[in-house]
Amino acid sequence: MQVGGQRRIVVPPNLTYIERKTYQDLPENTMLVYELTLIRLDEKWDPGMEARLSGNGMQ
């Protein structure tokens, strides 16, 4: 994802917080939807990242 890019992440009920009981008021069949926007990418944290993202570094 590039800076300014947006993604929607949908988490089905079987992967939510139900088993951990973190949020008691969260219904059992709740589907969580996260909308993310990459606002900044300060530096490359992994030297091989560029090659993997371009498909050249796949093994």
Query: Can you say how many angstroms the Cα of residue 44 is from the centroid of all Cα atoms in its chain?
Result: 18
- Average pLDDT over the chain, rounded to an integer: 78
Q: What is the pLDDT of residues 31-45, one digit of tens each?
A: 889 999 999 877 766
Instruction: Note whether 36 and 6 are within 8 A (CB).
Output: yes
Query: Can you say how many angstroms the Cα of residue 28 is from the centroid of all Cα atoms in its chain?
Result: 22
Q: Residue 5: which pLDDT band, with cuts at 50, 70 and 90?
A: very high
pLDDT of residue 16 exceeding 90: no
DSSP-derived secondary structure letter, 50: H
Q: What is the pTM assigned to this prediction?
A: 0.55
For residue 7, the number of C-alpha atoms closer than 13 Å in the C-beta half-sphere is 8
The strand ranges marked E within 4-45 are 6-11, 32-37
